[in-house]
Amino acid sequence: MNRTTRRYEGFLFVGPFLFLYAFLLIYPLILGIGISFHRADPFGGRLWVGLDNYARLLADPIFWQAVVNTFKLTLMIVPPLTILALALALALNRATRSAAIFRGIFFSSSVLSVTIVTLIWRFILTPDAGLIAKILHAMGRDPIPFLSDPHLTIPALAIATIWWCLGLPMMLVLAGLQQIPPDVYEAAALDGAGRWTTLWRITLPSIRRTLILVVMMQTAAQLQIFGQAQLLTAGGPSGASRPIVLLIYEIAFGRWELGYGAAAAELLFMLVLAVTLVQYWAVTRREAEA
Amino acid sequence: MTSLELSNVRKSYGQTAVLDGVSLNMEPKEFVAFLGPSGSGKSTLLRIIAGLETLDEGEVRLEGRRIDTLPPGERGVAMVFQHYALYPHMSVRENMSFGLRNAGMPRDEIEARVVQAAGVLEIEPHLDKKPGQLSGGQRQRVAIGRAIVKQPRLFLLDEPLSNLDAALRMRTRVELAQLRRRADAAFIIVTHDQAEAMTLADRIVVMNDRRIQQIGAPMEVYSRPANVFVARFVGSPAMTLLPATLVPGGDAFARIRLGDGSEVDTRVPRDGLPADGPLQLGLRPESVRVAADGTAQAEVELVERLGERTLVYGRLADGAAITAEDEGNSRIRLGDKVGLRIDGTAAHIFGPDGAGHHAAAG
């Protein structure tokens, strides 16, 4: 067999994946960039408008409201999610039967679809017959309008999201914790390190990479939050809880302004990319110093 | 004053006993080796002294102070782990100073101790590197350095040489011996390598099957093994054990008849031996010589030429395995029938209970 055929042999193995990846991800991405320069509707009308869509977006207060909402949600979700995942993983990082059961319980919410998750949280949060409302009523208090008060919708969405997304970060942190050799902890015990010293000086530095991965993955994921907002609050009241993806959806598939929606999607893409790159830069810079 | 004192230490995991009433007294600055096969309980005992395992019963005292109730960091012991157990994210300097910082020692004194230990161990150029950038031997020195800076009353070494290659092992062994001379502390090394135990230790604690089998100076353990286990475990190649019976009558020393009918005169006093029951004759390879006029005959099964001597593994007429020694330039080959001259003065006798009986001292 000559060298050239050998070289192409490898492509046979990655071929199927490359084809699907290109066809389902790269091609639509490029197509989307193309559409964003047009005024387009699904029925074939397509008119080149250059950067008009982008200019309109940047001048659109509704778009900026969605951007602010998205950042609020991400900031309210990612830090508590990471800390909770870490705390749970630390508590459940032992080889007992009860720890295994609790790991399963805390992970179980992750396998639910967003529809079920919002349904569950609707049962809890609805002011007329929800669980919290009933408890408050029993205590003689008025129900709290979680899903209609503009100050409460974003925290409510954040709580439901944290509950839903907790499983995977917890498992990642657990996997990171289990990579730490036990004799390192024994050495720390002989070095007279207490619980806090051990946590701060041994455990956390050892799982630093896992924690960074969790934060970066969750940030990228939560900047694209959609289903919970659509199903729980529909972005309301008057856009107070509408994140960017919901806005894109409404523009593209509610008002059928495909070009305008595609432009918003491209801006979101650049936003996620920029945030991820900034995080990556911050992490690698710190590593280079260390 | 004694250094470490173990009294009647017991430990079991559920139904499985791992240590069964272990007692030991160490002299100040003594170097003791725990020698035994895997699962003998030697590592568990070390970890109990370190405070990494709890004990079910008994006491551990260090220089009179009871330490088995204290957390590991407050016992005045330092440990060198088998796999080094360095903190991977800390520099060598931070690794060595971590324990001192936790103890609240002033910074300049920590720095002075670290620099001094690094100088002794020749790891100064690496103080700002991470463990991942060091070779195995250098990591081992950092691990030793981390123990030295604490100036402990007792060093605990958990198979510290088992991860090193042969050349490095020899060198580290010499370094441990030097460290031992400098340090004002007692040492315990856990090992399954008898050469390590024999060369480093003042006394060897041979462990097997949850118990101490024998405590003694290296040559005492070698030349007067307390029982069959110690006799077989210490010494390489292992001592030959032959089924034997006592020949009645005769003088004060036991005369032994082997399975093939040949007889051996030992220097083991007859009156200490059990009155009846099967005996075993223990012979080190060096007390069985290949000789044309030998009293026993053996068929050769394996010949190992070691250069300065040759080891001959054979079988006696009754099928019992025996190990003998010959000159370095021996011409013996597989399948040869050779005569063996057995030196009865160095023979050991083991009773039906496995207890060892030896030639009268001196």
pLDDT digits (tens, 9 = 90+) for A215-267: 999 999 999 999 988 998 888 788 888 999 999 999 988 888 888 999 999 99
C-alpha span between A278 and A64 (Å, rounded): 21
B132 touches chain A (CB under 8 A): no
CB B231 within 8 A of CB B350: yes
In this complex, the residue of B74, B81, B103 whose CB is nearest that of residue A187 is: B81
C-alpha span between B301 and B306 (Å, rounded): 16
Average pLDDT over residues A170-179: 94
**Percent of chain A topping pLDDT 90:** 54
CB B100 within 8 A of CB B149: yes
Q: What is the pLDDT of residue A87?
A: 95
Q: How many helices (H) and strands (E) does chain B have?
A: 8, 21
Contact B85 A184 (CB under 8 A): yes
Chain segment A182-191, per-residue pLDDT in tens: 999 999 999 9
Q: What is the pLDDT of residue B329?
A: 87
In this complex, the residue of B78, B83, B90 whose CB is nearest that of residue A190 is: B78
Chain segment B6-28, per-residue pLDDT in tens: 999 999 988 888 888 899 999 99
Shortest alpha-carbon distance between residue A131 and chain B (Å): 46
Per domain, the residue ranges of chain B are: 4-228, 240-357
Report the residue of chain B nearest A287, measured CA to CA.
Answer: B89
Q: Which residue has the higher pLDDT, A289 or A142?
A: A142
Contact B98 A184 (CB under 8 A): no
The CATH number that domain B240-357 falls under is 2.40.50.140
In this complex, the residue of A190, A202, A208 whose CB is nearest that of residue B73 is: A190
Average pLDDT over residues A37-60: 85
Shortest alpha-carbon distance between residue B232 and chain A (Å): 33
Shortest alpha-carbon distance between residue A207 and chain B (Å): 10
Q: What is the pLDDT of residue A1?
A: 52
In this complex, the residue of B52, B71, B74 whose CB is nearest that of residue A186 is: B52
Chain segment B191-208, per-residue pLDDT in tens: 988 888 999 999 999 999
C-alpha span between A167 and A92 (Å, rounded): 12
Report the residue of chain A nearest B98, measured CA to CA.
Answer: A191
Q: Which residue has the higher pLDDT, B64 or B272?
A: B64
Residues 186-245 of A with CB under 8 A from B: 186-194, 197, 201-202, 205-206, 208
The CATH number that domain B4-228 falls under is 3.40.50.300
Contact B81 A194 (CB under 8 A): no
Report the residue of chain A nearest B91, measured CA to CA.
Answer: A290
pLDDT at B361 over 90: no
Average pLDDT over residues B247-262: 84
pLDDT at B189 over 80: yes
Chain segment A79-93, per-residue pLDDT in tens: 999 999 999 999 999
C-alpha span between B217 and B199 (Å, rounded): 11
B87 touches chain A (CB under 8 A): yes
Residue matched to tokens 């101790």: B113
Q: What is the pLDDT of residue A170?
A: 94
Which among B254, B225, B234, B242 has a CA at the least distance from the CA of B355? B225
Contact B85 A205 (CB under 8 A): no
In this complex, the residue of B81, B83, B102 whose CB is nearest that of residue A193 is: B102
Amino acid at A7: R
Sign of the torsion angle spanned by Cα atoms A160, A163, A167, A168: positive
B48 touches chain A (CB under 8 A): no
Domains recognised in chain A with CATH numbers: 53-94+105-289 (1.10.3720.10)
Which chain A positions have a beta carbon within 8 Å of B145's beta carbon? none
Q: Do domains B4-228 and B240-357 have the same CATH topology?
A: no
Shortest alpha-carbon distance between residue A103 and chain B (Å): 26
**ipTM of the modeled complex:** 0.85
Q: What is the pLDDT of residue B125?
A: 94
Contact B85 A208 (CB under 8 A): no
CB A114 within 8 A of CB A228: yes
Q: What is the pLDDT of residue B164?
A: 83
Contact A183 B99 (CB under 8 A): no
Chain segment B299-328, per-residue pLDDT in tens: 999 999 998 899 999 999 888 999 999 988
Q: Tell me: cis bond preceding B237? Omega within 30 of 0 counts.
A: yes
Q: What is the pLDDT of residue A189?
A: 94
Q: What is the mean pLDDT of chain A?
A: 89
B99 touches chain A (CB under 8 A): yes
In this complex, the residue of A190, A201, A205 whose CB is nearest that of residue B79 is: A190
pLDDT band at A289 (very low <50, low <70, confident <90, very high): low
Q: What is the pLDDT of residue A2?
A: 62
C-alpha span between B138 and B126 (Å, rounded): 9
Strand partners, B12: B17
- Cβ contacts from A onto B, under 8 A: 65
Shortest alpha-carbon distance between residue A89 and chain B (Å): 21
B112-137 per-residue burial string, b: 16 or more CB within 10 A, e: under 16? ebbeebbebbebeebbeebbeebeeb
Chain segment A152-168, per-residue pLDDT in tens: 899 999 999 999 999 99
Q: What is the pLDDT of residue B317?
A: 87
pLDDT at B216 over 90: yes
